[in-house]
Chain A
């Protein structure tokens, strides 16, 4: 499972970075979302990967999984969601004002 998890994160980060370097607003938003997913997964596994274990200490089971990363991921997801919403609105405003979706405002098609 570790291999699956890490390769998932790696692929998402690679795709995210590639999309962000396209220097167009819409690919940037997609890339940021992918990067955000990868980062959330990374935070999640910072409490180690465990299966079928409760996130609270219970007398029935000796082992438990670390509940804190789950709380951190929740916070990170909420903040990331708000940021993506903001950057989408900003990208719309920018394409209206600058007349292009290039992040530097270039009009010619030189991507």
Chain B
């Protein structure tokens, strides 16, 4: 058994616990421990990704309770990619956070490690009740991180976030209870096999259970009627937290992709393909609502938060076709959108700090202190997010549009993805010209008129401060340069996702696959 698989969970857990014990020691100790842990987890997940690309699906059986009885962690290409994205993003966000955000309150670093544990656990687990537990670990640390730093706006937005997710957790348990009551297993691979044999009498309840779970996942992913918590929670929290949360909505996307291909996929018996009629319409409506929010926001950080909503809509509309080409394209788009939104959150935060009068609000103010630096960073991030060549947004979007073209909903997806791209460009172009060009002079009359100077006493950013945002942006050209291997990887992931029998065989052995296929035969 490959013990490396459980390391991305154990390491942050131990380090978080150590940081909690050292709560009254200096912040530099917390920073060192947090950075060491994040860097190690990034290395380990990179290694796991390498193994997953070249090897079979691996499984880690906790306590050696053989499946389907014990809890398992499963490392396939999709989960390996997701934990690597999470860990790399977390490391860069932490590098930004140690520049001062972490001093706004105690326990930032411990919460950050537990957050990493929760997200990685949700990606790795192969058990649906364990998924609930990791969701709760992830959410409880995210509640702390959203509120980190305090302030009335943050508290209000955080309260909505907490309350909605608590109700979501209850609903998740109802869905799990229905499914367990009917098919008697919680191991996802075993559920898939048993669902294939489920009697037709239970069809309505099984489908209801599947769709109740979708409601919860839609809340995590921020789909249309359930996204209203996101713009305020992401827009008003501290920048490194918002940047890390760019991957949290992708947890919802990942779980939808996993559960509705593995359990409720084509082998799902009476509840097969239960999500297919719902996903594309809901995702496209989310895309519309997100795009309207992008244009309508009066604060740069909220604009970016709405872009998260729009990107989830795009991803799920493409995934909703459930074709290999489209899923492969979505796998290429997913790292791009995660890293670029995170970069934009960091850039917006640096802009905010140099506009003392209005912060990140889209109101004219005196110019920022480092116009060239911030202007270029903003331009780079905007080009990448807006989907313009030569950066990765363009290639990923082209691949997605090509991937869905044979589907009946293709005209809708094409037009809405393209229009939302245009809306994003308009919003970012307007925000950029307003922040960098439409600046107001020193004072309106008298001596200072027409001389434009930044506010006094603004922080000036050195190379170390800019590095995390720059590194996140630098991922975009890398994604373009290695576009060939990346799209091959996307197809390799899609091949595993579209053939859930490989996952089931890796977890339960070939007998289970035979049982599954025999059920599909009649």
Residues of A within 8 A of B (CB): 20, 25, 28, 32, 35-36, 39-40, 42-43, 45-48, 68-69, 72, 75-76, 79-80, 82-83, 86-87, 90-91, 93-94, 97-98, 103-105
Contacts and interface: CB of A to CB of B under 8 A. Distances in A.
Contact of B178 (A46, A47, A75, A105): A46
A87 B170 contact: no
Contacts of A90: 143, 147, 155, 158-159, 162
B237 to A, nearest CB: 14
A39 B174 contact: yes
Interface in B125-176: 129, 133, 136, 140, 143, 147, 150-152, 155-156, 158-160, 162-163, 166-167, 169-170, 173-174, 176
B152 A98 contact: yes
Nearest to A43: B177
B414 interface: no
B140 A82 contact: yes
A105 B232 CA distance: 14
B205 to A, nearest CB: 11
Interface of B: 129, 133, 136, 140, 143, 147, 150-152, 155-156, 158-160, 162-163, 166-167, 169-170, 173-174, 176-178, 180-181, 186
Nearest to A48: B181
Given A83-B136, A97-B152, 12 more contacts: A25-B159, A28-B163, A39-B174, A46-B177, A46-B180, A69-B180, A75-B129, A90-B147, A94-B155, A94-B156, A103-B159, A105-B156
Contacts of A104: 156
A91 B370 CA distance: 41
B170 A36 contact: yes
A43 B167 CA distance: 16
A42 B163 CA distance: 21
A87 B181 CA distance: 30
25 contacts: A20-B163, A32-B163, A32-B166, A32-B167, A32-B170, A35-B167, A39-B173, A40-B173, A42-B174, A42-B177, A43-B173, A46-B177, A46-B178, A47-B180, A68-B180, A72-B176, A75-B133, A76-B173, A79-B169, A90-B143, A91-B159, A97-B150, A98-B152, A98-B155, A105-B152
Contact of B155 (A35, A48, A82, A97): A97
Contacts of A82: 140
Q: Which 7 A-B pairs have the closest CB atoms?
A: A46-B181, A46-B177, A43-B177, A39-B170, A97-B152, A39-B173, A46-B180
Given A42-B177, A46-B177, A86-B143, A35 B170 contact: yes
A93 B105 CA distance: 15
A43 B170 CA distance: 10
A87 B173 contact: no
Contacts of A98: 152, 155-156
A77 B50 CA distance: 39
B16 to A, nearest CB: 16
Nearest to A40: B173
Given A104-B156, A105-B156, A79 B136 contact: yes
A36 B168 CA distance: 11
Nearest to A66: B184
Contact of B167 (A20, A40, A93, A105): A20
A53 B177 CA distance: 21
Contact of B163 (A87, A97, A105): A87
Contacts of A83: 136, 140, 166, 169
Nearest to A104: B156
A23 to B, nearest CB: 10
B42 to A, nearest CB: 29
Contacts of B158: 90
Nearest to A76: B173
A32 B152 CA distance: 23
A87 B177 CA distance: 24
A78 to B, nearest CB: 10
Contacts of B173: 39-40, 42-43, 76
Interface centre among B136, B159, B167 (most CB of A within 10 A): B159
Contacts of A20: 163, 167
A83 B162 CA distance: 9
B163 A72 contact: no
Contacts of B140: 82-83, 86
Contact of B162 (A35, A46, A48, A86): A86
B155 A93 contact: yes
A38 B163 CA distance: 17
Interface centre among A25, A48, A86, A104 (most CB of B within 10 A): A86
Contacts of B166: 32, 83, 87
Contacts of A35: 167, 170
Contacts of A79: 133, 136, 169
Contacts of A46: 177-178, 180-181
A83 B138 CA distance: 12
B174 A103 contact: no
A17 to B, nearest CB: 9
